[in-house]
Amino acid sequence: MKVLAAMSGGVDSAVAAARAAEDGHEVVGVHMALSKNRDQRRTGSRGCCTVEDASDARRAADRIGIPYYVWDLSDDFHDLVVEDFLSEYAAGRTPNPCVRCNERIKFASLLERATLLGFDAVCTGHYASIRTDGPGGTPSLHRSRNMAKDQSYVLAVMGPDAVARSLFPLGEYETKDEVRAEAHARGLGVSTKPDSYDICFVADGDTRGFLERNLGEAPGEVLDDTGAVIGAHRGTHGFTIGQRKGLGIEHPAADGAPRYVVDIDPTSRQVVVGAAELLSTRELIATDVVLFEPLLVGREVRAQIRAHGDAIPAQVLEVPAAAAPAPGDAASATSTAAHSSTEATATVTTPAPASPPGSRLRVRLETPLRGVAPGQTVVLYDDDRVLAAATLEHRA
């Protein structure tokens, strides 16, 4: 196959590209320049897609022996990820920029360009697995064997069509040390490079400062759950549901218990705080549903709302109407996957039904979950297989 390997400049993408080339694919490496600041520098583990990263990616491609290019996707990244991040916080929601980046840049934009250039698949260093149920079957997305690094949650929004044209060679590694050891054995200089973390476009780690610089100040009141004013703030965008510190509270609670953000209203500029019990959620309602296979009402699943959070038992209460299978059509809702982590097909044989605008997904959690916020992504699993992803709108 003709494969476009996304090379971030880190050890994971370098080993993934090397594995793809070793498997006999015709591989071309590409580094996506996402920062508008061409002088941006990496500070330890903070930041990514910097000048240093582009240079590291080039050296890795040279060592592997594959062609290498740099693509400037900074405008796409700013418009589709950074602006979305700012607008979501301005609306009182809690976005996950890594989910949006994977959805809109690392797969939508990258795969679109790869297709136009005649590539059959894209290859990345994500920790996830792709498996196919028999010859000509539909590829499905699964968790990585390395659960500490598993990225199936942030990849779930890419959908089945993109999964069918992707390679994730690192999905079967059990530890990051194994990946580093392989990079060292291959003579890749990035074998000891630290992982990047935090939000890449907030390289100093000060998310609140980044929001204030870009959204400005919009002073408002902090209220308790009775409606009494107990403090002031400089902008609702500095808060997230479940937040405990930095609330601007002038008086402690009468019972001395800690208080948390339980509601945010950007229109009135009010932030409501209350006891931890007010954060408990049993029901999740989400829209922008991405289905990997049809879901039946009543199906038992596991729901995850944070990249490295626990997936807790849940039951499907409502599915997008146009995507719901006929009663008893269990065959379309379950499958037994066979391992095939390094093969990709050009098309999806039986694509999962699309979710029409306005459709929603509703699940009931077996146990209450705290800190659920609109804007977060919920991903449903059957064991280690991704079933669906959607954006949370409400909690009940």
Q: Is residue 149 part of a domain?
A: no
CA dihedral of residues 91, 95, 99, 103 (deg, nearest 10): 0
Q: Which of 323, 327, 337 is nearest to 388 (CA)?
A: 323
Query: Rounded distance, CA 296 to CA 302, Å?
Result: 14
Alpha helices in the chain (DSSP H): 11-22, 51-64, 74-77, 83-90, 97-101, 110-116, 152-155, 159-163, 176-185, 207-215
The arrangement of strands across the sheet holding 166-167 comes to: 68-72, 26-33, 2-6, 121-123, 166-167
Residues 51 and 177 in one domain: yes
pLDDT value at residue 344: 35
Quick one: which of 42, 43, 46 has its CA closest to 57?
Answer: 42
Q: Are residues 118 and 244 located together in one domain of the fold? A: no
Q: What is the number of domains present in the chain?
A: 3
Q: How many CB atoms lie within 10 A of CB 78?
A: 15
Nearest to 305 by CA among 326, 330, 286: 286
Sign of CA dihedral 345, 346, 350, 356: positive
pLDDT for res 39: 52
In a domain, 157, yes or no: no
Of the candidates 317, 321, 312, the one whose C-alpha atom is nearest the C-alpha of residue 365 is 312
Q: Is residue 144 part of a domain?
A: no
Any idea what the CATH number is for the domain that residue 75 is in? 3.40.50.620
Q: Are 199 and 45 in contact (CB under 8 A)?
A: no
Shared domain for 274 and 285, answered yes or no, is no
Residues 33 and 182 in one domain: yes
Regarding whether 351 and 266 lie in a shared domain, the answer is no
Of 197, 159, 168, which Cα lies nearest the Cα of 307? 197
Which of 391, 370, 375, 382 is closest to 316 using CA atoms?
382
3-state secondary structure of 92: coil
* Amino acid 96: pLDDT: 87
The pLDDT of residue 341: 36
Residues designated catalytic: 101, 200
CATH of the domain at 263: 2.30.30.280
**Could you list the residue range(s) of the whole structural domain that residue 357 is in?**
281-395
Per-residue pLDDT for the chain (396 aa), expressed as one digit of tens each? 999 999 999 999 999 999 999 999 999 999 998 886 655 554 544 455 677 889 999 999 999 999 999 999 889 999 999 999 999 999 999 888 988 888 888 888 889 999 999 999 999 999 999 998 766 678 899 999 999 999 999 999 999 999 999 999 999 999 999 999 999 999 999 999 988 766 888 877 788 889 999 999 999 999 998 999 999 999 999 999 999 988 878 777 878 889 999 999 999 999 999 999 999 999 999 999 999 999 999 999 999 999 989 999 999 999 987 554 444 443 333 333 333 333 333 333 333 444 555 579 999 999 999 889 999 999 999 999 999 999 998 666
Do 198 and 43 contact (CB within 8 A), yes or no?
no
Cβ-contact 370, 88 below 8 angstroms: no
φ, ψ of residue 99 to 5 degrees: the values are -65, -45
Based on the fold, state whether residues 103 and 177 are members of the same structural domain.
yes
Both structure tokens of 152: 């199936």
Which H or E run contains 5?
A: strand 2-6
In the numeric block, the tokens 């339980």 are attached to: 262
Instruction: Say if 375 falls within a structural domain.
Output: yes
Domain of 322: which CATH number? 2.40.30.10
Residue 266 DSSP one-character state: T
Q: Give which of 51, 55, 57 is closest to 29, Cα–Cα.
A: 57
As a whole number of angstroms, the distance between CA 389 and CA 100 comes to 12
Global pTM value: 0.84
* Strands 312-318 and 385-395, sheet pairing: unpaired
Looking at the fold, whether 34 and 7 belong to one and the same domain comes out as yes
Q: Which amino acid is at 204?
A: D
352 in the same domain as 227 = no
Pairwise CA distance, residues 243 & 89, whole Å? 14
